[in-house]
Amino acid sequence: MTEKTTTSLPPLRVAVIGAGPAGIYASDQLIRNGEREVLVDLFEQMPAPFGLIRYGVAPDHPRIKGIVKSLHNVLDKPQLRLLGNIEIGRDITVEQLRDYYDAVVFSTGAVRDRALNIKGVDLPESYGGADFVGFYDGNPRFDRDWDLSAKQVAVIGVGNVGLDVARILAKTADELKVTEIPDNVYESLKKNQATEVHVFGRRGPAQAKFTPHELKELDHSDNINVVVDPEDIDYDEASEQARRGSKSQDLVCQILEGYALREPKIAPHTLQIHLFEQPTEILEKDGHVVGLRTERTALDGNGGVTSTGRTTDWPVQAVYRAVGYRSEAIEGVPFDSQSNVIPNDGGRVLTAPGAQPVPGLYATGWIKRGPIGLIGNTKSDAKQTTDMLLADAAEGQLSPRLHEGPEAIVEFLEQRNIAYTTWEGWYRLDSQERALGQEEGRERKKIVDWEEMVSHARAIPVCI
Ligand SMILES: Cc1cc2nc3c(=O)[nH]c(=O)nc-3n(C[C@H](O)[C@H](O)[C@H](O)COP(=O)(O)OP(=O)(O)OC[C@H]3O[C@@H](n4cnc5c(N)ncnc54)[C@H](O)[C@@H]3O)c2cc1C
């Protein structure tokens, strides 16, 4: 059952909280460590694993969604047990959990929107980008219906999430029907009236946070004419330096220049990227969004921008704020509410930023370093955390668990009637989603209803 182990010490039992990429990579590294046998229970609040790969990565990015195939190999390992549909901090307290494990690793990621404080942000058609992502990616915790009656739409934020939101709004429902989107999402997207999508960022091309692949991909749809105003292409010495220092940033600049210089493409939908436009107010009439006011900025010579005082009002009927994700605190675990992460020193949880470690608690992924970076980054990050955990174990720094045996936690869950899901359950849910997709010639069609997901995972007859 174990891979290479070199000590005769009893196995370490570790709880990893959050079955997104960070939690799965951390589990894998713990199991494969080669020093000591480690048995991992991977807790997940959703009935299905994979975190933002399932509920963040856009449905028209099947290659990225396909990363789950390689994560399957990890979850298939006998030293790893998935316990889904359990929210740590609510269904089980961290204190209770610690009785069953020698160490706990938090990899709880981020799922909500970071706040944007501009006037009008609370208007009904001012939407959080993360909420829209949760809707179109079929996350049962988010709204099932979406008002897509706006013809002109603004997206605030020049990062990849902004591009995802803008692209989904600019594509047609039928272009997306080949993906895994659930029926309710397809039905809403069919009613989408948006013909103009405007993406706004306060800085210039050399500071935009897009990645080249995602920026280039916008142009792959025959339905989208991507536009950049040539006046929005500007560089100062610091910007030139940024281009020289990063091949990826240089490519982003080249792609934006290409969009700015070419002849317009004939397409029913326009997606315009506006640079050097700082959103300052969402405009309202009779309680509804009627526009977005931006202030023109200019490079300050150091790669930053200053305001010019020149404002423009853009007629739009909906605004999507894609200004970043935000992690949430877990009851019983220190949280730094300034930077919205668990305070930590390279992965060891601290009682407060810069303070003492809490023995036996660790963090990895977005909850450790904030909501930045791609799936691949969570792997190296997990290595740093798990190396620390194993070093602490070797030095006797962990407080040993009270309960022995893998069944103890299962008995605890069953005594409390917690309807937990398992890895075998994921196979059942997965095959059901695939079967639904195959009926329509698609690889998968997602099931959105929470109870339905649980019923398939637990092999309980589904009543709908
Ligand atoms: C909209 C969007 C699109 C993206 N697209 C791409 C892309 O195309 N390519 C790419 O490489 N990266 C992409 N990323 C980035 C990628 O998703 C992240 O780098 C990665 O998911 C972070 O991993 P994580 O495990 O730290 O967090 P998450 O993926 O958020 O996983 C955290 C898990 O913890 C669970 N959890 C949270 N709290 C609890 C609790 N109390 N108890 C139990 N479980 C809990 C959550 O349900 C979740 O499953 C995208 C991100 C977003 C937001």
Q: Answer yes or no: is the C-beta of 366 below 6 A from any ligand 1 atom.
A: yes
Amino acid symbol at 414:
E
pLDDT of residue 294 exceeding 70: yes
Task: Give pLDDT, residue 463.
Answer: 57
Give, for ligand 1, the residue of 375, 379, 420, 421 to mutate: max count of ligand atoms closer than 8 Å to Cβ: 375
Question: Tens digit of pLDDT for each residue in 258-279?
Answer: 999 999 999 999 999 999 999 9
Amino acid symbol at 377:
N
Q: What one-character DSSP code corresponds to residue 115?
A: P
CA of 201 to the centre of ligand 1 (A): 24
Q: For residues 185 and 328, what is the distance between their CA atoms, to the nearest angstrom?
A: 26
Fold identical between 12-110+327-421 and 113-325?
Answer: no
Task: Give pLDDT, residue 9.
Answer: 84
> What is the mean predicted confidence (pLDDT) over 304-321?
97
Q: Answer yes or no: is the C-beta of 94 below 6 A from any ligand 1 atom.
A: no
| 275 is an annotated ligand-binding site residue | no
* R_g of the chain computed on alpha carbons: 24
Cβ atoms of 347 and 384 within 8 Å: the answer is yes
CA of 312 to the centre of ligand 1 (A): 36
CATH homologous superfamily of 113-325 equals: FAD/NAD(P)-binding domain (3.50.50.60)
CA of 162 to the centre of ligand 1 (A): 16
68, 383, 442 from 62: Cα distances, Å = 10, 27, 11
Per-residue burial over 290-319, b if 16 or more Cβ lie within 10 Å, else e, is bbbbbbbbebeeebebeeeeeeeebebbbb
Task: Give pLDDT, residue 303.
Answer: 79
| 375 is an annotated ligand-binding site residue | yes
Options 3.40.50.720, 3.40.50.1400, 3.40.190.10, 3.20.20.20; CATH of 12-110+327-421: 3.40.50.720
Residue 6 buriedness (CB in 10 A; 0-12 / 13-18 / 19+): exposed
The pLDDT mean for the chain works out to: 95
> What is the mean predicted confidence (pLDDT) over 383-390?
97
Q: For residues 45 and 91, what is the distance between their CA atoms, to the nearest angstrom?
A: 9
| 374 is an annotated ligand-binding site residue | yes
User: 395 — phi, psi (to 5°)?
Assistant: -90, 5
Task: Give pLDDT, residue 1.
Answer: 42
CA of 360 to the centre of ligand 1 (A): 23
Q: Answer yes or no: is the C-beta of 47 below 6 A from any ligand 1 atom.
A: no
Cβ atoms of 449 and 464 within 8 Å: the answer is yes
Domains of the chain by residue range: 12-110+327-421, 113-325
Give, for ligand 1, the residue of 29, 53, 57 to mutate: max count of ligand atoms closer than 8 Å to Cβ: 57
Task: Give pLDDT, residue 22.
Answer: 98
Cβ atoms of 438 and 174 within 8 Å: the answer is no
275, 412, 445 from 180: Cα distances, Å = 33, 36, 4
What is the number of residues in the chain?
A: 464
Helix (H/G/I), strand (E/B), else coil: 436:
helix
Per-residue pLDDT band for 405 (boundaries 50, 70, 90) equals confident
What is the position in ligand 1's atom list of the atom closest to the CA of 61? 8
| 13 is an annotated ligand-binding site residue | no
> What is the mean predicted confidence (pLDDT) over 219-248?
97
Query: What predicted TM-score, i.e. pTM, was given to this entire model?
Result: 0.95
Q: Answer yes or no: is the C-beta of 385 below 6 A from any ligand 1 atom.
A: no
Q: What one-character DSSP code corresponds to residue 336?
A: B
Question: Tens digit of pLDDT for each residue in 357-385?
Answer: 999 999 999 999 999 989 999 999 999 99
Closest CA to 77 of 135, 141, 28, 123: 28
CA of 20 to the centre of ligand 1 (A): 5
Q: For residues 189 and 138, what is the distance between their CA atoms, to the nearest angstrom?
A: 13
